[in-house]
Amino acid sequence: MGIASLWKLLTEEGVVRKLSGSDPSQHHTLLSELDGTAIAVDLSAWIMQADQQLALLPHFGRTERCMKVALERSIQWLRHGCLPVIVVEGRAPAEKLAAVQARYAARNGVDGGGRGSSSFIALGKSVGVMLQQLGLPVFYSPGEAEATCAALVRAGRVDAAASFDSDTMVHGAERVYHTLKLSTLKPGECELVSCDLGDIRKALGIQRGGQVALSVIAMLAGSDYDLVGTSGVGSVGSLKLLRHLLGPGAQDDSGVLEALEALVARPPDAELAALTKCTGCKRCGHEGGRKGAVARHTPKNPCPCCAELDAAGAGRGPAGEEGDGAGAARAEGCRARAFARCDCAFHRREAERGVEAIARRIRADAAPLAAARAAAAVFQREAGAADAYVAARAAELGGAPGARLHWLHRPRTLAVWAELERRRVKLTWDLPMLRGKLLPLLLDWDLAHSGEENGAGEGGAGETRPEFWAREVQKVQGGAAAGPRKAAGAAAGAA
């Protein structure tokens, strides 16, 4: 879940980018962006989405269903030149587990379960083991998958993270794909929805950070650490407060939590509290001189501002001096409004009133502020553990420190089949069907690694010769909707 309504808020702020395969130019941009990249995938998202595909329920058991969705998505990503680096969920922090399980119980009517539970972790590991047989790098997170995804981005091992959990951005992932749907059979259904932390910083007017600012929004709007947040504030109100706390000229958000605590500790502003309604003139927009709004100033209730404006326009002195201009202004009472916004104190100090109202709500319930402090400590702890794990696991997988992860070996069809067979309940696939699904990957691998040792092939025996090799190269050119020209290889098979 992450921060309540954060993606909706970011969309309204114009920092969420969307590409649709139904638009040929956008589809081309999508393909170009993903080709040659490695993206850390929060496997929990795929598992939860597999659980929601009702059409699969009659034909697959739960583990089979999750394996099917993860396998087919991985195939699609690889065929689009994008390496999915799988991150399996670990144990949720104690500070978060209670909220996660409470939400699971509310949705399903039973206690326990949800992300971070033992059964969910076991399910993720089963899917992860199968995906390893495709040659994908798989990371078994010691804690939250979002933290490990962000750590992979920080370490330079991947280009971005894919997760609909907004906590991934709070953990510091610079680019997060909320939605990444890829299809070779139906390119018009491809879809990409992403957000860059740099764009969030730009929207907040800061140069560095962003994670602390997002954690403040989480505290006020609600998150996995506090499902309710501060009553009556919401994500929009949280953003208004955040911009006030940062102020003009802020370089980063490192002091925003302290600024919030100082605001809450400050005594209530009685002057702001007294501003409960408009006291302006509906004709000129200046203060009306009464307890409420007035239709217009009158000679008995003249507008000093209008008098000064008229006197200045006539080359006279300010109101109160002798002169026809000032007298005429007082006789008229007020001029027609020269600006759109009412200039009374109630409207002029609207932003301050909003901030004070939020502060008043936080003063009434200090729990969210304490939750923010606790969450910040948890994020820091999880980040440290994730960084250490990523460094160790990436070293096991090979490659220079900081180098992007790569497709590790040729898909092992028999090993993938063995994992599916081990958990067969309703599965109707047979080995030839699985091989047909993997055939494009086997072909791609062999064409890219022609002449290399295939020791990690299907049987694990040291094959010195690929199963497929290029026989000819054809230039394929489609219509205007088919995208850019590309070269396609025709291959001959050994079997």
Phi, psi of 158 (to 5 degrees): -135, 165
Angstrom CA distances, 287 to 298, 342, 351, 483, stand at 13, 9, 18, 62
Name the helix (H) or strand (E) containing 88. Answer: strand 82-88
Residues 213-241 pLDDT 10s = 888 887 777 777 666 667 778 888 888 88
Pairwise pLDDT comparison (387 vs 329), residue with the higher score: 387
Cβ-in-10-Å burial (0-12, 13-18, 19+) of 327 comes to: middle
Question: Is residue 462 pLDDT above 50, yes or no?
Answer: no
What pLDDT score was predicted for residue 181?
96
Listed residue (42, 131, 129) closest to 407, CA to CA: 131
Residue 437, token pair as written in the block: 């699904």
Kindly report the number of other CB atoms within 10 A of residue 324's CB atom. Answer: 10
Pairwise pLDDT comparison (360 vs 199), residue with the higher score: 199
| Structure-token match 């990523």, residue found | 390
Pairwise pLDDT comparison (420 vs 363), residue with the higher score: 420
Amino acid at 9: L
Question: Is residue 305 pLDDT above 90, yes or no?
Answer: no
What mean pLDDT do residues 191-210 have? 94
pTM of the model: 0.82
- The secondary structure of the chain in percent helix, strand, coil, rounded to multiples of 5, reads 50, 15, 40
d(C-alpha 351, C-alpha 237), whole Å: 11
What mean pLDDT do residues 109-123 have? 70
Residue 475: strand pairing partners: 487
Which residues touch 465 (CB under 8 Å, ≥6 apart)? 454, 494
Residues 316-346 pLDDT 10s = 434 444 444 444 444 456 888 766 788 899 9
Asked if residues 77 and 84 have their Cβ atoms less than 8 Å apart, the reply is yes
Residues 71-89 pLDDT 10s = 999 999 999 999 999 999 9
What mean pLDDT do residues 413-421 have? 94
Instruction: State the sign of the Cα–Cα–Cα–Cα dihedral 36, 200, 162, 53.
Output: negative
Average pLDDT, the chain: 83
Range 397-403, long-range pairs (CB < 8 A, 24+ positions): 397/137, 402/155, 402/156, 402/157, 403/156, 403/157
Cβ-in-10-Å burial (0-12, 13-18, 19+) of 323 comes to: middle
Q: What is the DSSP letter of 298?
A: B
| Structure-token match 């790098």, residue found | 137
Residue 301: strand pairing partners: 298
Question: Is residue 133 pLDDT above 80, yes or no?
Answer: yes
Range 293-301, long-range pairs (CB < 8 A, 24+ positions): 293/344, 296/333, 296/334, 297/333, 297/334, 298/333, 299/330, 299/331, 299/333, 301/333
Pairwise pLDDT comparison (211 vs 161), residue with the higher score: 161
d(C-alpha 64, C-alpha 365), whole Å: 46
Strands 160-162 and 175-181 come out as parallel
Instruction: State the sign of the Cα–Cα–Cα–Cα dihedral 144, 150, 156, 162.
Output: positive
d(C-alpha 358, C-alpha 355), whole Å: 5
| Structure-token match 């440290």, residue found | 384
d(C-alpha 483, C-alpha 495), whole Å: 33
Quickly state the pLDDT bin for 492 (edges 50, 70, 90).
low
Helix pair 350-364, 234-246: axis angle to 10 deg: 110
What mean pLDDT do residues 419-440 have? 91
Cβ-in-10-Å burial (0-12, 13-18, 19+) of 11 comes to: middle
What mean pLDDT do residues 241-259 have? 89
d(C-alpha 43, C-alpha 207), whole Å: 32
Of the chain, the percentage scoring pLDDT greater than 90 comes to 44
Cβ-in-10-Å burial (0-12, 13-18, 19+) of 254 comes to: middle
Quickly state the pLDDT bin for 389 (edges 50, 70, 90).
very high
Quickly state the pLDDT bin for 411 (edges 50, 70, 90).
very high
Residue 448, token pair as written in the block: 């890219």
Angstrom CA distances, 367 to 220, 235, 266, 316, 490, stand at 10, 17, 17, 60, 64
Amino acid at 13: E
Q: 64-76: buried (b, 16+ CB within 10 Å) or exposed (e) per residue?
A: bbbbbbbbebbbb
Q: Go through the domains of the chain in sequence order and give each one's CATH number.
A: 6-208+383-397 (3.40.50.1010)
